Amino acid sequence: MRDFVENEVGSLRDHGAPGISWALLVLCFALAFSPAPQPAGDRAASGSAEVEVETGPEMPVVALTFDDGPRAATTGRLLDELALREVPATFFLLGHRLSGNEELVRRMAREGHQIGVHTFDHVPVTGLSHQEFDLQVGGVRAQLRDILGDGEFWLRPPYGQTDDSTRAWADSPIVLWSVDPEDWKDHNAARIAAAVTEQVKDGDIILLHDIYHSSVDAAVQIVDELLRRGFCFVTVEDLLAWKGISPESGAVYRSGR
């Protein structure tokens, strides 16, 4: 198994996109050919179990993303579940939620998650003046740098709304999504999970919100089911790199396709 993984990763390194995290790539192959954990509802929080994993010649890769956090009551539990499965995600954070949740943000970074900006208080960025935009976006980047140090924090505009000014002022790639189960509508974890797993495909960016307990429950179901099918989870940045896409400031990305 080890020789197979190393050979496959070596081949992808020779032919793949620059900038991808090869340690993460090794993990993806390991996940694709190893048992996934049993869903959370069927095991103790610290326990483990095995389910059969489907494998194939091509491993589908997706990015799981979360908006509107951090929220201590839900984001912490989500991080626990992702850590148990060694699954990275991308979090687009609201500036007004950062105060008091700095350690959660540090934990995200420490555990390999990508962190981005979702404005200070979830306002549409279209139609803002340049100064207002800088407060909503640049101000949150400044907060994140105070917490984490220097870094590039990509933008996800609220409601997915962009215009020419947004793209000109973004100062980073702009990340939207290709799969949206509208988890805010009914807080039904089973429906949310099914809405994702019934349509997801290679290269998708999945949108969820880590401020709802139901969305955390759904995320666990989604991850367990897709791991069982042989999917690999990566950050948005690594998804684009995996697909040979060089991200550009102001460009809008809805998927890795």
Catalytic positions, written as ranges: 67, 209
Cα angle 118-97-135, degrees, rounded to a multiple of 5: 50
DSSP code for 160? G
DSSP letter for each residue of 140-156: HHHHHHHHH-S----B-
Residues 6+ apart with CB under 8 A from 88: 24, 82, 111, 112, 113, 114, 233, 234, 235, 238
- Record the tokens describing residue 120, joined without a space: 């200070």
Residue closest to 63 by CA, chosen among 179, 156, 161: 179
Cα angle 79-84-87, degrees, rounded to a multiple of 5: 70
Burial class for 133, CB neighbours closer than 10 Å (0-12, 13-18, 19+): buried
CA distance 245 to 243: 6
Alpha helices in 138-212 (DSSP H): 139-148, 164-169, 189-197
- Record the tokens describing residue 35, joined without a space: 């048992």
Residues 6+ apart with CB under 8 A from 169: 130, 133, 134, 137
